[in-house]
């Protein structure tokens, strides 16, 4: 498998337990942070139940729209783990037992290996297996779709494989300005900055009950020079004497 250069990414979170609130979803935060760190822009996130048609339709659409897609959940041994078969069906290929993954499972479970265990070796036909020297259990990648587990501890471990094989074209540069002004009072200043620096993503985040600041303004771009220009422009617009810190 060759390293992937990706500008954009999407995520498909799968599981009835997520939509019912039985399980707290935590994988998205870890994925978003990982992608940000490697310079990939996460552009879309969808959560669906364990329904093959929904999974297939969504993953096919995301695969056509974004450079790389990450699925989370539905790859275990039980009846509601339908992600692999759903992806395979969506692209008109069978889901087969991969011999490498089968051998790993049989080595782990020995004589206790069951058909349920072997379901964890299913991959869409044509998938490749991504590993690292530290993480030998393979991650199936079909086309541009990374098929990740839903269990948070294992999901986080698999993100090391993502970091090894996926890169953005450039890293992101981010700065934040903390002010004691209300967000509404900052709006006209921010409107000017957004208009004058369209290549910089400007965010505004009010904070309640914090004595150190009222509003945090963030500036993000793939260009450090553009971020600095936007920050300088914003600081110059603040009222004289307005306390702020820049990080």
Q: Express each pLDDT in 5-55 by its tens digit.
A: 999 999 999 999 999 999 999 999 999 999 999 999 999 999 999 999 999
Identify whether the C-beta of residue 127 lies closer than 8 Å to the C-beta of residue 140.
yes
Quote the mean pLDDT of the chain.
96
CA distance readout (Å), 28 to 45, 66, 115, 151, 219: 8, 17, 31, 12, 22
**CATH number of this structure's domain 173-246:** 3.30.70.2860
Q: What is the pLDDT of residue 9?
A: 98
How far is C-alpha 135 from the geometric centre of its chain's CA atoms? 19
For 197, half-sphere exposure in the C-beta direction (CA atoms, 13 angstrom radius) is: 26
Tell me the pTM. 0.92
Residues of the chain with CATH 3.40.980.10: 4-167
CA–CA gap between residue 188 and residue 145 (Å, rounded): 42
**% the chain with pLDDT above 90:** 94
Say whether pLDDT at 1 is over 80.
no
Residues of the chain with CATH 3.30.70.2860: 173-246
Q: What is the pLDDT of residue 241?
A: 85
Say whether pLDDT at 2 is over 80.
no
Label residue 206 by pLDDT band (50, 70, 90).
very high
4-167 belongs to CATH 1.10.600.10: no
Mean pLDDT across the stretch 197-208?
Answer: 96
**Region of residue 132 (left: phi > 0; alpha: psi -120 to 50; beta: else):** beta
Identify whether the C-beta of residue 81 lies closer than 8 Å to the C-beta of residue 75.
yes
**Region of residue 210 (left: phi > 0; alpha: psi -120 to 50; beta: else):** beta
Element (DSSP H or E) covering residue 61: helix 52-65
CA angle 5-9-12, nearest 5°? 140
Mean pLDDT across the stretch 201-208?
Answer: 96
Say whether pLDDT at 155 is over 80.
yes
Q: What is the pLDDT of residue 136?
A: 85
Angle between helices 183-196 and 224-237 (to 10 degrees): 140
Helix (H, G, I), strand (E, B) or coil at 6: coil
């Amino acid at each position: 498998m060759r390293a992937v250069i990706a500008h954009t990414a999407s995520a498909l979170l799968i599981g009835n337990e997520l939509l019912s609130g039985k399980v707290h979803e935590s994988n998205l935060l870890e994925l978003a942070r990982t992608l940000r760190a490697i310079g990939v822009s996460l552009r879309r996130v969808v959560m669906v139940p364990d329904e093959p048609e929904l999974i297939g339709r969504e993953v096919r659409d995301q695969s056509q729209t974004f450079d790389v897609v990450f699925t989370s959940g539905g790859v275990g041994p039980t009846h509601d783990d339908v992600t692999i078969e759903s992806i395979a069906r969506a692209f008109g290929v069978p889901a087969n037992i991969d011999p490498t993954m089968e051998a790993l499972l049989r080595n782990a479970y020995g004589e206790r290996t069951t058909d349920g265990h072997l379901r964890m070796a299913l991959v869409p036909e044509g998938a490749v297996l991504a590993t690292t020297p530290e993480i030998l259990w393979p991650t199936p990648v079909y086309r541009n779709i990374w098929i990740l587990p839903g269990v948070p501890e294992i999901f986080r471990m698999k993100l090391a494989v993502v970091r090894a094989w996926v890169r953005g074209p450039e890293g992101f540069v981010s700065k934040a300005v903390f002010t004691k002004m209300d967000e509404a009072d900052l709006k006209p200043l921010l409107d000017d900055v957004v208009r004058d620096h369209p290549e910089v993503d400007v965010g505004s985040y009010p904070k309640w009950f914090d004595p150190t600041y009222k509003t945090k303004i963030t500036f993000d771009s793939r260009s450090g020079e553009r971020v600095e220009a936007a920050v300088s422009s914003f600081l110059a617009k603040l009222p004289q004497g307005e306390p702020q810190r820049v990080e």
